[in-house]
Structures are given as C-alpha cells and as structure tokens.
Amino acid sequence: MADHTDQPAAGAGLLSGTLVLDLSRALAGPHAGMMLGDLGARVIKVETPNGGDDSRGWGPPFLGEGEDRESTYFMAANRNKESITLDLKDADDADVLARLVQRADVLIENFRVGVLDRLGFSVERLHELNPGLVICSITGFGHDGPESQRAGYDQIAQGEAGLMSLTGIEEPTKVGVPIADLLAGMNGAFGVLAALLERQQTGRGRVVRTSLIAGIVGVHAFQGTKWTVAGELPGLSGSHHPSIAPYGLFHTATAPIQLSCGSEGLWRKFAPAVGLDPDEPRFATNGERVSHRDELVQVLNDIFATQPAEHWLALLSSAGVPSGKVRNLQEVYEWEQVRSQGLLVEVDHATKGTFSIPGPVIRFDDNPYGGARPDVIAPPVLGQHNASVRAWLDETDPTDA
C-alpha cells in the first residue's frame, strides 16, 4: 500500500489535546474512537499492514476498484482519524506502539480476551508504560464469566441478548444496523469520558470494560422489567408498541405512516379527527386499546386506506397528534431537517476526492455544523499517516505529549 504522508488530523474542540490510540477493528471499538474524534481528540488508528481493519474489505459497495478500492462500510466508523500500520509481532513495530502508549491518554481495543496480553501489551504492561492511560476494552460477551472467550459478532449478540426475540412479526429479526456494535461503542466512549474526568483528580488511568451483550441488555428498557418485575415474557412486537395503543405503523392509500397516541389526551384529539368515538368501550382507555389492539389496528387501517398518506399526515398534524413518514435513506439524507443538524458532512478523501458521509451526532453552541471540532476529517487510507506519526514520535518527548 502506498504510504500517504498527509499531516496528522489535529483535533480541535472539547477533547483537544487528548490522544486516543484505536487498536480496534470492525465497528464497536472504531465507533467509540470516532465519537471521541468528533469531540476533538486526536485519534491514531493502529492497523495491521496486510489489509488493515477487517471492515476495509467489507463490501460491496466500494469506491474505486482493485487494490485502490475503499470500503464505504469502513467510512462509516472512521472519520476524524489517522491511520498507521503496525505488526505487533514485529519487535520494531511493537516498540512504536509502546512509544505511542507513553504519549496517549486513551487506548481502545476489542481483541478477544487474552490476545493483547499474548502480544506483550497486558493491562499491567500498558500501565507500566503510562500510569495515566485509560484503557477501553470492548468484548463480545464480557471479559470474564463462563463464555468470555466467545468471539463477538453483532447479529449473534442481537440473538443471544434477546433483541431478536422482540423484533419482527412472523420470526425473530435483526435490527437493520449493527446495533450491538454501535451501542457497545457508545457505552465505551461514555465510560472513557468518565475515566478521563476521574483522572483529573487521581492522575491515574483505569480500565473501562463493556461488551456487545451489555449494550443490548442495557437497552431492554420496559421489555426487561416486563419480565424481571412482572414475570411476563415479551415476544415479537412487530411495528406496534406492546404497551401503548395506537402507537405504530398504519397503511394508507399510498404509503405507510406512523402515529403515536402516548397519552389519553392525545387519544381524545386523535379519535374525533379520524371519525372515532373516543369513549367507545373497546378503546376508551389505553389498557382497553392494548387489549383490543388487533381490532383497533384493523379499524384504523380501514380508515387510513381511504386517503393518501399526505392527507392523513396533514390532518394528524393539525390535530396535534404525533405522526410521521417512513423514509428510505435517500429521503433521509435529502431531508433538510437532517442537513440542518449537521448530520451530513462533506469531506475530502486522500484518494477518492470529495464526497458526503454521515456526520457527528452531538452539537455544541459554538459550532452550528455539528461536532466539537471546526471540520470533519475523511476516513484515512490504510497507512496514510505512517510517516507523519513516526516523525511526530521522533520530535516529541513522551512526558511532554
């Protein structure tokens, strides 16, 4: 792979001056690193020389062809990062990582339990090199317990941690994005920020641990307590809320719409607007409506089938009832509301030119365009910053970094 020698993507923002080493691959760890990069941290992604992050090979779609192609999957989790390639089984490359650790504030890894130890970078060694290092370790099933050695993959975690038992209509269905990975990454970034805050008082780093199954179990919400408290086992909920009605997807003459009657007050606005009696015994209270959900859904679908989606959305809006479209992703990224929130950003890629990618999800009052930094750096080409990172190491003292 060609060694692009671009200057490092220096961070600016709330985490400016914070150095993050991202040793992770695929999605959970990279997502955590990207979130920290969005907040202004300098994130150096450490990849294997032969192919780099696994997700660089995940496709199609790709931009380009052959050895110069770039995976759009990889681009989803690696904005605001630099890329350096290291073979940690090579003594010289392992020394480069050790020098980076001495200068770092955070290290993110999602190896299987014990792999980093075998490579010579156990928690003890990392803290010998840098007592203030915050280590974020993301695993599939947790770092201990009887199944800690299992490899973690998103869809497996969605099934094992119960999410698929709640999702779908006729059979258990995965969520359309790798939600276990994404939640684990978000939880990891959250833990890192707490550990950095603690370090301001103690001067010492600690290990932050989370997992894919923790990410899923942690968002069971009311479905979890339905079982743990009430002893009722939740099942597939399809496109309707299991505890509130009407709340879900309905079919009009042209396209599906969604609506939410999350209170009795909203029901009393909604029912007359669509020609129903709000005091009809089967539907007078939320409990009755949930008990008679199938009947209510059929009644409403028959009503909605008489007019196009636009008619019903306008009517529900005027009645003050929450409702909305079901957009595909083209419609989402063309939606002016999404663009106004900085959720689509334009970047200049080292080899593929200018294109748009999803943007940071947190905005701050001094940056109307999203994120905590004044710009967004394109996902790096493999090894793009090999020369610049090594030059920076030679120029800096670890005690001053």
Q: What pLDDT digit, counting tens, does each position of 321-331 carry? A: 999 999 999 99
Q: What pLDDT digit, counting tens, does each position of 107-151 carry? A: 999 999 999 999 999 999 999 999 999 999 999 999 999 999 999
Q: What pLDDT digit, counting tens, does each position of 284-340 carry? A: 999 999 999 999 999 999 999 999 999 999 999 999 999 999 999 999 999 999 999
Q: Quick one: 132 and 207 in the same domain?
A: yes
pLDDT recorded at residue 161: 98
6 neighbors 44 (Cβ within 8 angstroms):
no
Q: Quick one: 172 and 266 in the same domain?
A: no
Q: Quick one: 294 and 154 in the same domain?
A: no
Q: Which domain holds residue 268?
A: 256-325
Name the residues annotated as catalytic.
181
Is 12 within the bounds of a domain?
Answer: no
Q: Quick one: 365 and 310 in the same domain?
A: no
Is 224 within the bounds of a domain?
Answer: no
Is 265 within the bounds of a domain?
Answer: yes
Vertex 19, ends 13 and 20: CA angle to 5°? 105
What is the pLDDT averaged over residues 197-207?
Answer: 97
Q: Quick one: 313 and 381 in the same domain?
A: no
Q: What pLDDT digit, counting tens, does each position of 56-84 carry? A: 999 999 999 988 899 999 999 999 999 99
60 neighbors 99 (Cβ within 8 angstroms):
no
What is the pLDDT averaged over residues 161-173?
Answer: 97
b (16+ CB within 10 A) / e for 188-225: bbebbbebbeebeeeeebbbbbbbbbbbbbeebeebee
254 neighbors 308 (Cβ within 8 angstroms):
yes
Exposed (0-12), middle (13-18) or buried (19+): which is 231, by Cβ within 10 Å?
exposed
Cis peptide before 360 (omega within 30 of 0): no
Q: Quick one: 215 and 260 in the same domain?
A: no
Is 236 within the bounds of a domain?
Answer: no
Q: Quick one: 142 and 56 in the same domain?
A: yes
- In which residue are the tokens 């479905």 written? 223
Q: Quick one: 310 and 352 in the same domain?
A: no
Among the listed residues 209, 138, 143, the one whose alpha carbon sits nearest the alpha carbon of residue 178: 138
What is the rounded CA–CA span in Å between residue 127 and residue 377? 30
**Residue 129's CATH number:** 3.40.50.10540
pLDDT recorded at residue 363: 87
pLDDT at 49 over 50: yes
What is the rounded CA–CA span in Å between residue 208 and residue 202? 16
pTM passes above 0.85? yes
Structure tokens at 351: 């080899």
Q: Quick one: 284 and 356 in the same domain?
A: no
Domain endpoint, select from 294, 325, 356: 325
For the chain, the domain total comes to 2
pLDDT at 3 over 60: no
Is 225 within the bounds of a domain?
Answer: no
Whole-number Cα distances in Å, 89 to 43, 50, 393: 22, 13, 20
Confidence category of residue 394, pLDDT binned at 50, 70, 90: very high
Q: Quick one: 58 and 207 in the same domain?
A: yes
Is 250 within the bounds of a domain?
Answer: no
